[in-house]
């Protein structure tokens, strides 16, 4: 008995020792000259700016590369020069001439010239990766791009489009990640079999931004280091360590403990619970991402206009804004997010079960029906879908929720094999065309169509709206153009098989001593450049 007791004591002593040894290292604040960020960035699959099309990848390259021009994150209508000092548009509206800024150096030490800018844009067209359409929609192709985009001399770049587009449309597209300027000499040094350095740049860096990419370990860590020679002045933080932390509750924990300086993926309830903490502050910014419910017209039930309208009246917009989306989103019921040119802000729909029941009876479904909804397996999306499951049930519609992984949802969606889809759309650039192009335009509704915009994925093919969308992009007067988009959205809001529900607001939790972090309207405009620690 006594022996046993002694043994137990020895055991306890050993365990205590183990923990004592470990406890010393457990409490560690982050260093003064480095910023530690907790973020879910498992979507990054490449660092090549000609290929980057993921939210996280766009943010990393946004902080490490320069583009010709940029916009003010607080007011996107203010466009200014970055790598280009100034620009002019020709009278016919087709030729853009950029004067390059002097004294910009790449990480390799090479000086940036117009040749680098021309090369970067040409390279994006020739490589023709996923985001290439952002540039190629102006009539560039691998065959003609060398003539359409060229360096006249070391300081001058000209870009010639095939038609006279709204100038802001062209300019906004040049602020996108794909228009980032890469170091031609450095990239071509690593060319293999004529790939323009693609294999190399996917995991390496050749830019001139305020930060340099030191290391990227997928789903683990991204390390940025300050570019001391940055033309806009060296940033204060020597290093930025961005750590992949998949669990939002763990991000909260680390932030509260001071193990990270910024938590990027806090869920609604976590925001509530850190709100009262004096060591933590919240930074909020309306993003362009819209969350919507779409109905596949290939389904005979959903093809009925009354059913579509009924579903729009069965979403608890207000309730969602107050609960699941509290602090993280605002109701938006049109296809353009607030802040975009011509965004429609009217909200004609609210939860109205009686009205919906009437519409369903008219459509021939007085007792409702059973239907499947696919949704990506992420907390806020599932919670929103669950709320719809509850409200739809009030009108007799039994929703079977099918949560899937992101890419799996897209596989089904792209093949038009869903009934209901709940998901998000993020604009590719800051011009209204990006959303009109996908929601209101469908040139070919056949199964083997060349282009498969979101309208196509729901078998929605509005002829007039398609024409209007194509016309709006050529209107150079901003006021007239805004009116055109308002008209398209109004018609779309009533007729289209889409219920737009929420516009996302990004929220980051920051330690109280962190200042200067900027959240922009898109991910590539989230900026670490001015971060300081008090």
Partner 1 sequence: MTTPTTKGGFLAVFFSTFYSKRAKPLIHFLSMLIMTFIGLLMLTFVIGRMMPTDPVIAVIGDKAPEELYEKTYKEMGLDKPIVVQFVYYLGGVLQGDLGTSVRTANLVTEDILNYFPATLELATLATIFGVLLGVPIGVLAAVKQNKWPDYLVRFFGLIGHSAPIFWLAMMGIVLFYQHLDWVAAPEGRLSVMYEYTLPKVTNMVLIDTMLAGDWDAFKDAFAHIILPASLLSYYSIAYLSRMTRSFMLDQLKQEYVITARVKGVSETAIIWRHALGNAWVPLITVIALTYATLLEGSVLTEIVFSWPGLGRYITDGLLAADMNAVLGGTIVVGLVFILLNLTSDLLYKVFDPRAR
Partner 2 sequence: MTELKSWLLAENPDSRAQASLGRAYLGWRRFFCNPLAMIGFVIVTALLLMAIFAPYIAPEGITSGLTGAELKEHRFQPPSAEHWFGTDGQANDIFSRIVMGSRITLIIVGIVIFTAPILGFIIGTVSGYFGGWIDVVLMRITDVFLAFPKLVLALALAAALGRGLESAIFAIAITSWPAYARLARAETLTIRKTDYLAAARLQGAGHWRLISGHIMPLCLSSLIVRVTLDMAGIILTAAGLGFLGLGAQPPTPEWGAMIAEGRDYILSYWWLATFPGLAIFVVALGFNFLGDGLRDVLDPKSGGQH
Which spans of this chain sit near partner 2 (rule: CB under 8 A)?
A: 247-249, 252-253, 256, 267, 269-270, 272-273, 316, 318-319, 322-324, 351, 377, 379, 382-383, 385-387, 389-391, 393-394, 400-405
Note whether 247 binds partner 1 by CB under 8 A.
Answer: yes
The single-letter DSSP state of residue 177 is: G
Contacted by 259, from partner 2, partner 1, none: CB < 5 to 8 Å by type: partner 1
- Among residues 187, 210, 248, 192, which one has the least CA distance to residue 47? 187
Burial 400-413 (b: 16+ CB within 10 A, else e): eebeeeeeebbeeb
User: Please, are residues 68 and 81 in contact by the beta-carbon 8 Å criterion?
Assistant: yes
x/- mask, partner 1, residues 51-90, rule CB under 8 A, reads --xx------------------------------------
Q: Which is nearer to partner 2, 195 or 354 (CB)?
A: 354
Note whether 451 binds partner 1 by CB under 8 A.
Answer: yes
Please identify which residue in the block is written with the tokens 């093949």.
415
- Among residues 108, 70, 119, which one has the least CA distance to residue 204? 108
End-to-end, the C-alpha distance of the chain in Å comes to 59
User: Please, are residues 310 and 360 in contact by the beta-carbon 8 Å criterion?
Assistant: yes
2, 278, 450, 534: which one contacts partner 1 (CB under 8 A)?
Answer: 450
The count of C-alpha atoms lying within 13 angstroms of the C-alpha of 162, restricted to the half-sphere facing its C-beta, is 9
C-alpha distances out from residue 497 to 402, 458, 462, Å: 20, 8, 11
Q: What is the DSSP string of 108-144?
A: TSPBP-HHHHHHHHHHHHHHT-GGGHHHHTTS--TTT
Per-residue tokens: 265: 């993926």
Note whether 28 binds partner 1 by CB under 8 A.
Answer: yes
9, 11, 12, 379: which one contacts partner 1 (CB under 8 A)?
Answer: 11
Three-class SS state of 344: coil
Q: How far is the CB of 253 from partner 2 (least distance, A)?
A: 6
Note whether 4 binds partner 1 by CB under 8 A.
Answer: yes
Q: How far is the CB of 288 from partner 1 (least distance, A)?
A: 14
Q: Which is nearer to partner 2, 146 or 400 (CB)?
A: 400
Q: Which is nearer to partner 2, 256 or 437 (CB)?
A: 256
Q: How far is the CB of 399 from partner 2 (least distance, A)?
A: 10
User: Please, are residues 500 and 308 in contact by the beta-carbon 8 Å criterion?
Assistant: no
Q: Return the residues of window 252-311 that contact partner 1 according to CB under 8 A.
A: 253-254, 257, 259-260
CB atoms within 10 A of CB 373: 20
Note whether 13 binds partner 1 by CB under 8 A.
Answer: no
In angstroms, rounded to a whole number, what is the distance separating the alpha carbons of residues 296 and 311? 13
Q: How far is the CB of 170 from partner 2 (least distance, A)?
A: 42
- Among residues 362, 359, 370, which one has the least CA distance to residue 419? 370
C-alpha distances out from residue 300 to 315, 395, 433, 497, Å: 21, 19, 30, 13
Q: Which is nearer to partner 2, 178 or 324 (CB)?
A: 324
Of 37-45, 151-159, 311-319, 519-527, the window that binds partner 1 (rule: CB under 8 A) is 37-45
Note whether 31 binds partner 1 by CB under 8 A.
Answer: yes
In angstroms, rounded to a whole number, what is the distance separating the alpha carbons of residues 270 and 267? 5
Contacted by 366, from partner 1, partner 2, none: CB < 5 to 8 Å by type: none
Q: Return the residues of window 200-239 that contact partner 1 according to CB under 8 A.
A: 202-203, 214-215, 217-221, 223, 239
Q: How far is the CB of 522 from partner 1 (least distance, A)?
A: 14
Contacted by 5, from partner 2, partner 1, none: CB < 5 to 8 Å by type: none
Give contact residues for partner 1 (rule: CB under 8 A): 4, 7, 11, 18-19, 21-28, 30-31, 34, 36, 38, 42, 45-46, 53-54, 128-133, 202-203, 214-215, 217-221, 223, 239, 241, 243-247, 250, 253-254, 257, 259-260, 404-405, 407-408, 410-412, 414, 428, 449-452
């Amino acid at each position: 008995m006594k022996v046993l007791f002694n043994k137990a004591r020895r055991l306890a002593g050993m365990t205590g020792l183990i923990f004592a040894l470990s406890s010393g290292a457990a409490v560690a604040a982050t260093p003064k000259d480095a910023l530690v960020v907790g973020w879910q960035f498992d979507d990054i699959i490449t660092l090549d700016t000609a290929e980057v099309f993921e939210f996280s990848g766009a943010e990393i390259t946004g902080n490490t590369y320069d583009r010709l021009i940029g916009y003010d994150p607080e007011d996107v209508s203010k466009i200014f020069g970055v790598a280009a000092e100034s620009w002019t548009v020709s009278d016919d509206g087709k030729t853009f001439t950029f004067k390059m800024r002097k004294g910009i150096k790449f990480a390799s030490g090479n000086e940036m010239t117009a040749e680098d800018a021309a090369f970067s844009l040409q390279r994006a067209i020739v490589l023709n990766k996923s985001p290439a359409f952002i540039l190629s929609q102006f009539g560039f192709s691998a065959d003609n791009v060398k003539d359409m985009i060229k360096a006249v001399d070391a300081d001058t770049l000209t870009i010639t489009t095939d038609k006279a587009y709204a100038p802001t449309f062209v300019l906004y597209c040049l602020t996108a990640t794909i228009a980032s300027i890469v170091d031609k000499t450095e990239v071509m040094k690593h060319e293999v079999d004529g790939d323009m350095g693609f294999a190399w740049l996917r995991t390496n860096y050749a830019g001139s931004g305020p930060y340099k990419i030191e290391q990227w370990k997928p789903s683990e860590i991204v390390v940025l280091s300050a570019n001391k020679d940055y033309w806009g002045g060296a940033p204060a933080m020597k290093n930025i360590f961005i750590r992949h932390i998949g669990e939002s509750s763990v991000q909260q924990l680390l932030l509260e403990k001071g193990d990270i300086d910024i938590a990027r993926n806090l869920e609604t309830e976590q925001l509530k619970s850190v709100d009262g903490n004096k060591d933590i502050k919240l930074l909020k910014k309306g993003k362009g991402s819209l969350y919507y419910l779409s109905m596949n017209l290939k389904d005979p039930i959903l093809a009925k206009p009354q059913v579509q309208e009924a579903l729009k009246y069965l979403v608890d917009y207000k309730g969602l804004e107050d609960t699941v989306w509290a602090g993280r989103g605002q109701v938006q019921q049109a296809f353009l997010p607030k802040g975009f040119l011509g965004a429609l802000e009217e909200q004609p729909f609210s939860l109205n079960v009686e009205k919906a029941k009437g519409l369903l009876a008219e459509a021939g479904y007085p007792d409702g029906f059973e239907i499947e909804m696919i949704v990506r397996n992420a907390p806020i999306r599932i919670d929103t879908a669950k709320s719809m499951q509850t409200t739809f049930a009030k009108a007799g519609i039994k929703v079977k929720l099918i949560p899937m992984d992101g890419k799996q949802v897209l596989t089904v969606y792209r093949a038009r094999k869903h009934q209901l889809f709940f998901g998000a759309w993020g604009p590719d650039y800051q011009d209204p065309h990006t959303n009109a192009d996908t929601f209101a335009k469908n040139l070919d509704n056949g199964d083997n169509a060349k282009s498969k915009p979101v309208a196509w994925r729901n078998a929605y093919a509005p002829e007039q709206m398609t024409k209007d969308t194509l016309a709006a992009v050529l209107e150079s007067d901003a006021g007239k153009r805004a009116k055109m988009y308002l008209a398209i959205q109004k018609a779309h809001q009533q007729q289209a098989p889409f219920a737009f529900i929420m516009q996302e607001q990004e929220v980051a939790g920051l330690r109280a001593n962190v200042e200067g972090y900027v959240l922009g309207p898109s991910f590539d405009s989230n900026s670490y450049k001015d971060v300081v620690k008090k």
